[in-house]
Amino acid sequence: MSDATEPSLIARREGAAGTILMNRPHALNALDLPMIEGIARALADFRADPALRLVVLEGAGGRAFCAGGDVRRMRELALAGDAAGVEAFFANEYAMNLAIAEFPRPWISLIDGVCMGGGIGVSVHGSHRVVTEHALLAMPETAIALFPDVGTSYVLPRLPGALGNWLALTGARLKGAEAVEAGLATHFVPRDSLPALRAALLEGDAGAVERFAQPVPPGSIAAQRPAIDRCFGHETLPSIRDALAAEDSDWARDQLAILARMSPTSMAVTLELLRRGRTMSLADCLQMELRLTRKVTRHPDFAEGVRAVLVDKDNAPRWTPQAKIEDMFG
């Protein structure tokens, strides 16, 4: 267990592997700018090491892999009018996400605990996303009036059927096996097996992931897929709501209740973002997301959403819907 006096990021060479430990357990390993810059430096160092065979990414503390980016800090900067500070955070984070995608050797994330937002960004672009029975993955940005970022405008539209729209709009939380089933994770390994898997990885053996992985049989995601595709495979929010109303099931009513709590502007932006991302490269998606942060973080819903969910925690946001979503992409 680490504490606030220790480095928030520990990157080093261990055996044939480069290892990165996100080390802010008191903040559920949420990424701040120094951590993002540290991962970027480690990426460059590891890439330049010809003897390094793979990279292992982990989160400290046992509760979280990485709960996201430090959006509370982004809210403070936005309220202070520090557009340059907001820009620096997102620009550095997205450049780091792209560098992970372009890393030429296996990038293996051991996801044990909460993995949301920025945690998805540091793992989903790598070659191996290993989850345990304690993993919990989500992109919950519509609840704080942001949008699924860190390159997920590229990833989510490429998931099967309408899973991407469903995950993006509702912030649905997937347990470890469900994340493999949905395509966000690649392998399921029980928590008890992680130390032995890690030891094998330090020897440079990426194939160990396959040997330790357990099969994930069709489960709740497969059972929900027909309804998800029927209801969330539409291009507009009114059409999605109409489809859910017509579904007339407890699941559909739950989804409608969830959508009713989210930022209307964020949901509309998210649908358009994923529609565009479907045909774009990852690099172009990240550039689109960066442009969008400049508008979205200045919109009153962002500060209000972060206040309601993460600052005051009253979960009672007062939204100010944007009249023309096209203006957000301008």
Please check the confidence at residue 3 and state whether its pLDDT lies above 80. no
Tokens of 204: 């440079």
The Cβ of residue 80 has, within 10 Å, a number of other Cβ atoms equal to 10
- Of the chain, the end-to-end C-alpha distance in Å amounts to 45
Is the four-CA dihedral 319, 325, 327, 329 of positive or negative sign? positive
Whether 141 is catalytic: yes
Q: Mention every residue, 6+ apart, whose C-beta is less than 8 A from residue 327.
A: 295
Boundaries of every domain in the chain = 9-329
Which tens digit of pLDDT belongs to each residue from 219-273? 999 999 999 999 999 999 999 999 999 999 999 999 999 999 999 999 999 999 9
Q: Give percent of the chain above pLDDT 90.
A: 95
Give kind and range of the element (H or E) at residue 19. Answer: strand 17-22
- Determine the pLDDT at residue 5: 75
Nearest to 228 by CA among 211, 240, 212: 240
Helix (H), strand (E), coil (C) string for 114-159: EEECHHHHCCCCCCEEEECCCCEEECCHHHHCCCCCCCHHHHHHHC
Is the domain spanning 9-329 CATH 3.90.226.10? The answer is: yes
CA 315 to chain CA mean position, Å = 21
Q: Which of 58, 149, 272, 289 is catalytic?
A: 149
- Contact between 298 and 117 under an 8 Å Cβ cutoff? The reply is no
Residue 104 has pLDDT above 80, yes or no: yes
Q: 282-296 and 83-101 are packed helices; what angle lies between their axes, rounded to 10 degrees?
A: 160
| 205 is a catalytic site residue | no
Question: Which DSSP string do the residues of 295-322 spell out, in sequence order?
Answer: HHTTSHHHHHHHIIIIIS----------
Q: Between 330 and 326, where is the model more confident? A: 326
Encoded tokens for 311:
């600052």
- From the list 59, 61, 68, 69, the catalytic residue is 69
Q: What is the pLDDT of residues 265-305, one digit of tens each?
A: 999 999 999 999 999 999 999 999 999 999 999 999 999 99
Contacts of 172 (CB under 8 A, 6+ apart): 138, 166
**Options 59, 113, 117, 118, the catalytic residue:** 118
- Answer yes or no: 233 catalytic: no
Per-residue pLDDT tens for 33-84? 999 999 999 999 999 999 999 999 999 999 999 999 999 999 999 999 999 9
58, 70, 112, 141: the catalytic one is: 141
